[in-house]
Chains A and B, each alone.
Chain A
Amino acid sequence: MNNALLHSNEDLAFADFAKQAYKLATLNYLKFFKMDNLSKLGLLAAEFTLAGKNWQERYTPDEVALCFSNASSSIDSDRKHQESIGDRSNYFPSPSVFVYTLPNILAGEICIRNGFKGENSFFIFEQFDAENMVNIVQQLFTNEQCKACVMGWINYDSEQADALCCLIEKSDNEKELPFNAENYSYLYFNTKPQ
């Protein structure tokens, strides 16, 4: 978080690690435990990013947009759903797995948790793509209503979790770090644990 490592444990399964992170974030949100791993990762990333930012004091819920991307879409939950429908003699698809077979559900979970009502979107790229994401978010900011955007890269598949989340805000202050592809890339590639 802002170049500081908050917690580390490479021996745990992701669901158990996420549970530790849930406790670290002092979240009291039982719906978290019903989410798939992609949404857990996104919700935790947003939770740590927004902690102490007091966005409610500066923006109304419809002034905050969300824009996320990844490479694996919702493949982890898609696979689980596929397994549950593969055998016609044991055909019991789980509704709670099926609802997570779209990646943008994680944006919805973050909106529900935080009360955001601005535009939200989710894009699939072959790999982390700073240029396209920055262009998309800059386009969002051309709308007067959009004053801030929670954006990032939230990728999860088969126990491999990779996330970047940040809060981008409109500002006239030229001393603020400019929002451009170079800086967004720097956040992803240079602050990532190796």
Chain B
Amino acid sequence: MSQLANELKTEIIKALNLEGVSPEDIENDAPLFGEGLGLDSIDALELIVLLDKNYGIKIDSAADGKAVFHSISSMVAYIESKK
């Protein structure tokens, strides 16, 4: 969990151009959207591409996406469930 979570944080920071944010700044259970990192709808699309490109995982429905992209922990759990 920890290694994958850290890897994911680094990938997200790079993919979303999160200036001034380091992996240590992102808490595993903090919401990624709204408060937290304040990501927007384009970021959500970028996260879908990231999962597909780096992990070969496709998000099929908007409902799944909302749960999967809630936090780093939920993303890690989803990636591990697809292995």
Contacts and interface: CB of A to CB of B under 8 A. Distances in A.
In the complex, which range does the number of interface residues on chain A fall in? 10 to 19
B42 A95 contact: yes
B52 interface: yes
A139 B46 CA distance: 40
B60 interface: no
A179 interface: no
Interface in B14-43: 16-20, 38, 42-43
A32 B20 CA distance: 12
Contacts of B17: 33-34, 96
B34 to A, nearest CB: 15
Given A33-B17, A33-B19, A34-B16, A92 B53 contact: yes
A95 B19 contact: no
Main secondary structure of the interface of A (DSSP, over half): helix
B68 interface: no
Given A33-B17, A34-B16, A34-B17, A95 B53 contact: no
B45 interface: yes
Interface in A1-57: 30, 32-34
28 contacts: A30-B18, A30-B19, A30-B20, A30-B38, A32-B19, A33-B17, A33-B18, A33-B19, A34-B16, A34-B17, A34-B42, A92-B49, A92-B52, A92-B53, A93-B49, A94-B46, A94-B49, A95-B42, A95-B45, A95-B46, A95-B49, A96-B16, A96-B17, A96-B42, A96-B43, A96-B45, A96-B46, A99-B42
Interface of A: 30, 32-34, 92-96, 99
Interface of B: 16-20, 38, 42-43, 45-46, 49, 52-53
